[in-house]
């Protein structure tokens, strides 16, 4: 991998480790709740695959040895994660638009707020993955 290590000695910075731990815990809690309610369908599976892909690509950027292990597959995982995130966000926005209990103005507001929340929640993963792709492209 043609990227210099971003942490001391190739380790993951503390803020990244805390973010990843919180993100993974939140995701597992969310999936556990969906599974308990028997509400885990194909879109939840798309979200799960995307989350794993984005987390893996971000770790490859922040942890040099892991990035070396996966090589260019990390870039493929990042692309898969981005497409999954876009698809899941669009699916949730469409599902929100179908809510008949809300007014049209509320539906738009909920769709925009939900999309913004998903993108903000995933922003560090997207940044790390983008840096990984940039490093590969300019190597």
| pLDDT per residue of the chain (139 residues) written in tens, 0 to 9 | 444 444 445 578 899 999 999 999 988 888 887 777 777 788 888 888 999 999 999 999 988 788 888 888 999 999 999 999 999 899 888 888 888 888 888 889 988 998 999 899 999 999 999 998 888 777 6
In a domain, 32, yes or no: yes
In a domain, 4, yes or no: no
**Distance in angstroms (rounded) separating the CA atoms of residues 110 and 116:** 10
In a domain, 62, yes or no: yes
Number of other CB atoms surrounding residue 86 within 10 Å: 14
Burial 99-132 (b: 16+ CB within 10 A, else e): eeeeeeeebeebbeeebeebeeebebbbebbebb
Angstrom distances, CA of residue 125 to CA of 24, 36, 37, 119, 121 = 12, 27, 28, 10, 9
- Residue 123: predicted pLDDT: 94
In a domain, 6, yes or no: no
Block residue for tokens 């971000």: 58
- Residue 1: predicted pLDDT: 43
- Residue 5: predicted pLDDT: 44
In a domain, 52, yes or no: yes
How many distinct structural domains can be found in the chain? 1
Is the pTM here over 0.95, yes or no?
Answer: no
Range of the domain at 115: 11-137
In a domain, 107, yes or no: yes
In a domain, 60, yes or no: yes
Contact yes or no for 53/80 (Cβ under 8 A): yes
- Residue 4: predicted pLDDT: 45
Helix (H) or strand (E) holding 77: helix 73-97
In a domain, 5, yes or no: no
């Amino acid at each position: 991998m043609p990227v210099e290590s971003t942490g001391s000695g190739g380790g993951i910075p503390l803020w990244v480790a805390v973010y990843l731990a919180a993100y993974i815990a939140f995701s597992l809690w969310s999936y556990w709740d969906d599974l308990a309610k028997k509400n885990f369908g194909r879109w939840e599976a798309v979200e799960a695959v995307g989350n794993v892909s984005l987390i893996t690509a971000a770790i490859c950027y922040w942890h040099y040895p892991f990035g070396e292990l996966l090589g260019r597959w990390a870039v493929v995982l990042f692309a898969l994660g981005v497409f999954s995130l876009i698809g899941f966000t669009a699916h949730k926005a469409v599902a929100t638009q179908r809510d008949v209990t809300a007014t049209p103005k509320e539906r738009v507001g909920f769709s925009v707020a939900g999309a913004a929340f998903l993108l903000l929640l995933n922003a560090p993963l997207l940044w790390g993955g983008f840096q990984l792709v940039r490093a590969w492209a300019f190597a």
